[in-house]
A and B are shown apart, each in its own frame.
Chain A
Amino acid sequence: MKARLLFAALIIGAMLPGVTGAIDLGSLFNTLKTVKQAVKPADLQQEEAIGQAAAATLLGAAKPIDNAALQRYVNEVGLWVALQSDRPNLPWHFAVVDSDDIDAFAAPGGYVFITRGLLLHMHSEAELAGVLGHEINHVVMKHHLKELQRAARIDLLGQAAQYELQQNGHNTELFNKVAGATRNLYSKGLDKDDEYEADRMGVVLAARAGYDPYGLLAVLQTLESIDPKSGRVQLLLATHPSPASRIAALSAEMQGRMDKYGNQVEGTQRFANEMRQFVAAAKK
């Protein structure tokens, strides 16, 4: 409905100049093309519907941890970082999921998940902000959205189909298509360039939010130190470039540009307090 209104408004807008002069068919055609590109593949409603199906699939593999204080904390850090991004108004949802393995995920429409294993390997809120910033940028750049649309062949998704996807139609053909594409995409990973891009943008989001931007680099060094044979990083390494190459790329990109933000907030104390409470609650 919204899309149709916008469409009509743009056609009228494009034709108005024609009233005073000759109608320029070429420019009208271009306008239509732009409208088509702007509305169809990236339509927010569609993205959110695809994101819900993808998020449901990921949460099927690892459930959110039932600790409201912890989840609230991660949502506050995450939203504060996301507010500095190019898509501050998405319905952002963050969650810590129940796995000791080390990884984090993003899904279209504003879903960001981080495993307990990764969270407990961090030392400060600045590190958390860097990792969430990386995931937020996957959403901002629509990395997964584009792949899921292609794989599930839903780039021409009509409004009826979108409705079907959103009506909790968990077993509808469309939902199952997105779920299938999600299983495939998230077990094989994105294009490596998408990961490098999310890294260098994540660093900047953390810095914009007032955090020490070296947090992400510190987390990557931690990842580098974990023995792959432990099994803790199997999924992460199967779906991302090696920590060593990410560190090399990121340090080259940050060189001389981020030093002046190195004294920004690390948030070590607040992070430690939150983790202490989380560990204490888990022991009860």
Chain B
Amino acid sequence: MKRGLMLTGLLILVLGGVHAAATSNAQTVANVNLNDGPYSDAHTVAAVPPNTGVTILERRGGWYRVRLASGKDGWIPMTSLRFGSTNSAGSSWNASDFNLFESGRAGGSGTTATTGVRGLNTGDIANARPDPQAVNELDGWTATPNQARQFAKQLSLRAQKIPYLPDAGGK
């Protein structure tokens, strides 16, 4: 039962992901240059006006590589884009890039899959009945600092000192 629930939940994400990946899903929020690389001093390929729909191809640091309706592609700063409501509750744009979800079993429509989604809303929190045993069980999954360091090493993650950011205020 529990598995069935989880599976339907996952299928919804599959369907959503496939759907979202196929559409132009973001809009420019200002005049922005389309560059030939993810750098501010890269060569400008085109000037793009606000409210232009683009398709996201990939992200590198603070830059997205996007494709315009004309077929032209290039790089723009990530915060020059707004991701409009896609009407999709599913996984986001490039989930399908990972082939995370094989579509073999996802032949149905979104509607059949909506049963059994496990929600968590303000009411669920406001009425939660404590489960102390679940807290105890977390001990079985923790990592030691040495294990975490080994794990980091596998991806060549290197720790470094970086100061915290200032509060920009004005919210």
Contacts and interface: CB of A to CB of B under 8 A. Distances in A.
Interface of A: 52-53, 55-65, 68, 71-72, 75-80, 83-84, 88, 91-95, 97-101, 103, 111, 115-117, 120-121, 123, 125, 168, 170, 175, 179, 182-184, 186-188, 192, 196-197, 200-201, 203-204, 207-212, 214, 217-218, 221-222, 224-228, 230-232, 234-235, 238-239, 241, 244-245, 247-249, 251-254, 257-259, 261-265, 267-268, 270, 272, 275-276, 279, 282-284
Q: For chain A, what secondary structure do more than half of its interface residues adopt (helix, strand, loop), or is it mixed? A: helix
Range for the number of chain B residues in contact with chain A: 35 or more
- Of A56, A83, A251, chain B has the most CB atoms within 10 Å of the CB of A56
A63 B134 contact: yes
B135 A59 contact: yes
A65 B130 CA distance: 17
Nearest to A267: B155
Given A68-B140, A187-B126, A253-B166, A76 B118 contact: no
Question: Top 5 nearest A-B pairs by Cβ distance?
Answer: A262-B61, A210-B157, A230-B89, A225-B83, A99-B120
A210 B135 contact: no
Contact of A83 (B81, B93, B159, B162): B159
B109 interface: no
Contact of B160 (A208, A241, A282): A208
A168 B136 CA distance: 10
Contacts, number: 279
B165 A254 contact: yes
Contacts of B170: 249, 252
B122 A204 contact: no
Given A56-B130, A197-B167, A265 B157 contact: yes
A92 B38 CA distance: 36
Given A170-B130, A235-B120, A249-B170, 20 more contacts: A56-B132, A59-B130, A61-B127, A62-B120, A80-B152, A80-B157, A83-B145, A83-B148, A97-B120, A98-B6, A101-B121, A117-B9, A120-B13, A168-B132, A183-B126, A210-B158, A214-B62, A214-B78, A227-B89, A270-B154
- Of A123, A175, A179, A234, chain B has the most CB atoms within 10 Å of the CB of A123
A192 B171 contact: yes
Contact of B100 (A91, A103, A214, A275): A275
B141 A187 contact: no
Contacts of A214: 59, 61-62, 78
9 contacts: A59-B130, A63-B131, A101-B118, A123-B95, A196-B167, A200-B167, A211-B157, A224-B82, A231-B89
A211 to B, nearest CB: 7
Contacts of B144: 79
Contacts of A64: 134, 137-138
Given A83-B159, A196-B171, A234-B122, A226 B134 contact: no
